[in-house]
Structure 1
Amino acid sequence: MRILCAGLATVDLIQRVERLPGVDEKVQSDSVEIAAGGPATNAAVTAATLGAPCGIEVVLVSAVGAHPLGDLIRADLAAHGVTLIDTTPTSTDPPPVSAVTVLSGTGERTIVSRNAGNRAAGVPQGAGPGTALPDADLTLVDGHHPILSTAAARTARRLLVDAGSWRPVFADILPHAEVVACSAAFRHPSASPTDGETDRDAALAEAVGAPSVVVTHGAAPVRWFTTHPPAHGEILVPPVPAVDTAGAGDAFHGALAVALAQNQDLPAAITYAIRVAGVRVTHAGPRTWLSFL
């Protein structure tokens, strides 16, 4: 079984601080860590860790390049069992870098990132004509590289979309999706404005139009909607002591991909993903938490 993740790969510089500095102020961090980041990348690492005992192979397609910073991404992915297909192997431009600051007391984080910036990841070319995206039982896309994400969506057997915030490319991706997992911040331009949060979620699900739509709200219940059969519900998020919330959504999506690939029904898959994201937020650092799964 194979899961394909297509999207952003970054170098994340993570520092923990007791408080955020003010303007023109410096603070000493408690710790510094460097890891590969980006929604699709973190989801791939999560899926590879969860899927390894089940024989699930995870492949990430992204733009990394030949810059020395790219070696940090490659090494992290290899250490966690993710196969990388680099669409820009000869590029000398540095990969995107995200500066992540985590408050030690609450686990809340701030992120400064240019995401993909001007870097465009196309579709990897094979020996013959056409695309060389590997066949997969389930494909996850995050929309950060439009050409790549669209190609992956159109060729996917089953498509899971990480819809963190609206991007124009989603108009081309969403019609191919089986499951769209939206954050509470996601705003579809066709969704009718409503007063209540519940009504807003329902309007979003209708605008997205996928067979299954999931809307996450951090520590609040996750809401889900299906069209065949028409149904909806919500799943509680058990309270946990938050130590580090960076990448919690990515962990959720990676776990959701594994559960869906194993043909769990949607509520069961969401429950599983909630549990995995809960493990993520209770441990500091980008990778330490994986050993507690």
Structure 2
Amino acid sequence: MTAIAVLGSTNMDLVAYVARAPGRGETVTGREFRTVPGGKGANQAVAAARAGGEVVMIGAVGTDEYGSALRTNLEHAGVDTDLLHTVAGPSGTAHIVVDDEGANAIVVIPGANGTVTALGPGERAAVAAAGLLLLQLELPLTAVTEAARTAKDRGVRTILTPSPVQPLPSALLDAVDLLIPNEHEAAALTGCEEPHAAAQILLRQVPEVVITLGRKGCLYAARDGEPVLFPAPEVTAVDTTGAGDTFVGTLAVALGEGRSVPEAVAWASSAAALCVQKPGASTSMPYRSEIDAA
């Protein structure tokens, strides 16, 4: 089994469910509120662990009650939290509105995540010892770039989810093996709305790209082959929060097991489809037995 290191955020998701999201200056009445462990890093770690991966989480939580709950959630999923540090102050939070079509809008408050600006010796050793490194952009870019460079120097395959989307320095992109944006992030990074064209632009910077397209599936493109469009399983979405992270975490496990990209993408797509049929982020992520049976 290939070890997976995840450098990323841990947030408590504060989720409001509404018929439709409010417009600017508008108040709407919701039907339900939930507090759910999340954060893109933690979500990917949980997804990978539930899919059968050996996962270590690198990041930070606060000294509030959310911090304890976030750590416990990761440990219950089987994630190693020895490098999830506790720092004084609040944990990260994500304020999420989910409408009746399963679409979401999210505001993230970094909290403890904002303190992760660099890697210590233990974090660098964990990255170097892994077979795969998962990165996102909810931590300071200095730490993300340092982790990617450390991985590249040690021959560790690096997967980056460019969310929340922002301009990416060449020092980071040069160390990324696989970039996984959604269609909106791909458009923001390239200025091109059409996924195939966006993928070709991104391939000038990274060797492989998977652009997730929601209900339309995902597009895989590499420098040495023709792009492949993978259709998504047809399901009724209840909540899309965490679907992308489920896809990435599960894909990492499949790639770590030596599966081909088409097989890995199909397996990860099944996992994401299972995720969107339940409310919440980490709480909706499927276990390996569920994915295999889908």
TM over 0.5, shorter chain:
yes
Which residue is 1:61 aligned to? 58
Match of 2:146 among 110, 131, 151: 151
User: 1: distance between equivalents of 2:28 and 2:239?
Assistant: 22
Q: Note the alpha carbon deviations across 1:211-238, whole angstroms, 9 max, x for none.
A: 21111111113111112x3332211112
* Structure 1: segments with no counterpart, 5+ residues: none
Contact 2:187–2:198, Cα closer than 8 Å, also in 1:
no
Which residue is 2:240 aligned to? 245
Which residue is 1:29 aligned to? 31
SS in 1 for 2:185: coil
Contact 1:133–1:152, Cα closer than 8 Å, also in 2:
no
Q: Note the alpha carbon deviations across 1:81-138, whole angstroms, 9 max, x for none.
A: 111244652x2210121112222x32122222234698230345348xx944351111
Residues paired across the two proteins, number: 280
Contact 1:220–1:237, Cα closer than 8 Å, also in 2:
yes
Which residue is 1:163 aligned to? 162
Q: Structure 1 194/137 Cα, relative in aligned 2: closer, same or farther at 3 Å?
A: closer
Q: Which AA in structure 1 matches 2:265?
A: I
Which residue is 2:94 aligned to? 98
Match of 2:214 among 218, 241, 245: 218
User: 1: distance between equivalents of 2:16 and 2:221?
Assistant: 37
Contact 1:67–1:94, Cα closer than 8 Å, also in 2:
yes
State the shift of 1:72 in Å: 1.6
SS in 2 for 1:284: coil
Which residue is 1:198 aligned to? 196
Which residue is 1:43 aligned to? 44
* Structure 2: segments with no counterpart, 5+ residues: none
State the shift of 1:149 in Å: 1.5
User: 2: distance between equivalents of 1:34 and 1:198?
Assistant: 37
User: 2: distance between equivalents of 1:218 and 1:102?
Assistant: 15
1:79-94 matches, within 5 Å, as: 79-86=76-83, 88-89=85-86, 91-94=87-90
TM-score under structure 2 length normalisation: 0.84
Report the identity percentage: 27
Q: Structure 1 93/57 Cα, relative in aligned 2: closer, same or farther at 3 Å?
A: same
State the shift of 1:250 in Å: 0.8
State the shift of 1:67 in Å: 2.9
Contact 1:35–1:73, Cα closer than 8 Å, also in 2:
no
Q: What root-mean-square deviation, in Å, do the aligned CA atoms of Structure 1 and Structure 2 show?
A: 2.7
User: 1: distance between equivalents of 2:166 and 2:198?
Assistant: 19
